[in-house]
Amino acid sequence: MVSFINLVSLWILPLIILTILTVGLIKKVPVYEVFTDGAKDGFKVSINIIPYLVAIIVSISMLRASGFIEYIGTLFSGIFEYFKVPVEVLPIMIVRSLSGSAALGVFSDIAHNLGPDSYATKLAAVMVGSSETTFYVLAVYFGSVGIKKFRYALATGIIADIIGIVAAIFVCRILV
């Protein structure tokens, strides 16, 4: 199973690229010129998102540095015991919508300290594996087209994240 998945993930990108180029040639598209023409926008788009990234990443780095996230953790530890969720995974729940690298960092930390066989490691793995960094996604995508009013996009992302966390807790109890 592992080797099969590795094989698929190794081949999927080369196959996509090859298919697109082959179909392009068959349909007589000037692939080199079209490629460079499309690639031109790469620089412009990346530079455009910098102000939005700075706003989101700086404010979240500041919040993390202030110790606020740990404080929230101690506040909720009672609820955790009630649902038999290991307290170690709490930072992941808070951090995973805000910063992908932080969530992965906390997860590696749990995996190294508690070992591969602990329930906390498995639950943390499912929580990190099934989530996307909501704030980062919004900053990049809205930043790329200069949208300033997010309307209900942020609320939707956060509600879905919460549902994901609850689902992770229940699914892990049944399947892991």
Partner 1 sequence: MNYIFYCLILLSIIFGAVTGKLSDVVNAILSGAELSVKVAFSLIGIMAFWLGIMKIAQECGLVKILAKILMPITKVLFRDIKSNNDAIGDIAMNFTANALGLSNAATPIGIKAMQEMQEVNKDKSSASDAMCMFLAMNTAGFQIVPATVIAVLVSVGYKNPTDIILPVLVVTSIAFVSAIIVALIFKKLWRAQ
Near partner 1 in 92-151, by CB under 8 A: 104, 107-108, 111-112, 115-116, 121-122, 125-132, 134, 137-138, 140-142, 144-151
Give the CA angle between residues 78, 80, 85 to the nearest 5°. 155
Give the binding-site size for partner 1 (rule: CB under 8 A). 98
Q: Is 90 exposed, middle or buried (0-12, 13-18, 19+ CB in 10 A)?
A: buried
**Binding flag, residue 77, partner 1 (CB under 8 A):** no
CA distance 38 to 59: 33
Q: Applying CB under 8 A, does 73 fall inside the site for partner 1? A: no
Residue 12 makes contact with partner 1 by CB under 8 A: yes
Nearer to partner 1, 36 or 78 (CB): 36
84 binds partner 1 (CB under 8 A): no
47 binding partner 1? (CB under 8 A): yes
104 contact partners, CB below 8 Å, separation of at least 6 = 128
